[in-house]
Structure 1
Amino acid sequence: MVQNLDNMRETPSQTAGPYVHIGCTPNVAGLDMFGGDLGAVMRTGPVQGQEITIRGRVLDGTGMPLRDAMVEIWQADAAGLYPSPEERRGKADPHFTGFGRSAGDPQSGEFIFETVKPGRVPYPDGRLQAPHVSFWIVARGINIGLHTRMYFADEAEANGEDPILTRIEHQNRIATLLAEPEEEGLYRFDIRLQGTGETIFFDI
């Protein structure tokens, strides 16, 4: 006999909803826990290299900011070294975590990272990549996190040699991966999910 399950309702279609913030950034969600959220601070002391701020928004197909997005970044330090046990090329900056997590501002949707400008990292074949920051984005309606990269518009020579950027078939879309300097030490990087100027995303 088939069991009647009419009393069980379908869960909401909001795949991330408030849960991603409660679980990943509880302090932003209003829960005072752990003395701060993981990834909220990337510079834990005097760091090497140029200190920078990255600001941006995740925009939908109409150009409106997503106010419930959460963004994570992973990057090398100023010398191009990762703070990872797998790093064999040298010792990374002990005052730099390399990992950041930011929930978008609930009003403007803006994310902010206080970090350092990364150094160049070798590609598997030895060629140097341009300075870049890896991004991961989740929000309502995004079933699987989106991966992209942020490069720096003021690193034109390095960008022209980068083994990833030079592989992109539609070179006119590279601009969607470039952070523009707004003032000394401040870069803006908006991520567009759809429509005109859609950001390039990577299948990782």
Structure 2
Amino acid sequence: MGRLGSTPSQTVGPYLSIGLPWEDGPFVVPEGTEGAVWIRGQVFDGEGAPVPDAMIETWQADPAGRFDHPDDPRGRGGSGFRGFGRCPTDERGEYGILTLLPGIVPSADGGDQARHIDVSVFARGMLSRVVTRIYFEGQDNSGDAVLASVPEERRTTLVAAKAENGYRFDVRLQGEGETVFFAV
């Protein structure tokens, strides 16, 4: 009797719009929330072309640096701030997430992590998501051990630039200026 082969791997897409919509979509906070900022950008492939069927998913602490989650090592924050957003890209590869700037989070080594948002990117042709972080221009990012672990010439791929109503953060999946992705 012959041996059966394994089932071939499947990519993330092209069915993002069917299986992964989030009820609140890109709104981590409701429109009109005091202090809310937009994080907008585009997702590009290795050739520099926009990716019209990708999805950006974000997870972050509240402005006090707490998570309203049982896994927060300091105990559940209790603020009611969900900290989660999900936005598909449009035909131009553009996305937007409305949120509040996260607070400083303690790190496992006793130091502090700079304000950041964890980001997962899903797209066609990828067997699994890629994970990165968004840091913010104009904030003190100097003591963040994760950012410091990235070669200095590549750190700019993780820093969102100030823009109208918030920040701009483009994701380059491959090629020149490729965004730094982390193995998690």
Task: Tell me the TM-score normalized by structure 1.
Answer: 0.79
- Give unpaired runs (5+ residues) of structure 1: 3-9, 26-35
Which one of 155, 166, 175 corresponds to residue 195 of structure 1?
A: 175
Residues 15-59 of structure 1, C-alpha deviations (whole Å, 9 max, x = no match): 23332220112xxxxxxxxxx725443115986x73111001111
Equivalent position SS for 1:124: coil
Instruction: Give aligned pairs, total.
Output: 179
**Matches of residues 1-204 of structure 1 in structure 2 within 5 Å?**
15-25=11-21, 37-44=23-30, 50-87=35-72, 88-89=74-75, 91-94=77-80, 96-105=81-90, 107-155=91-139, 158-168=140-150, 170-183=151-164, 185-204=165-184
Identity between Structure 1 and Structure 2 (%): 42
| Contact map agreement 2:39 2:98 (CA 8 A) in 1 | yes
| Contact map agreement 1:160 1:166 (CA 8 A) in 2 | yes
Q: Which amino acid aligns with 1:128?
A: D
RCO comparison, higher one (Cα < 8 Å, 6+):
2
- Which one has the largest radius of gyration? 1
Q: Which amino acid aligns with 1:151?
A: Y
Q: Which amino acid aligns with 2:40?
A: R
Q: CA deviation at 1:93?
A: 2.5
Runs of 4+ that moved beyond 3 A: 44-47
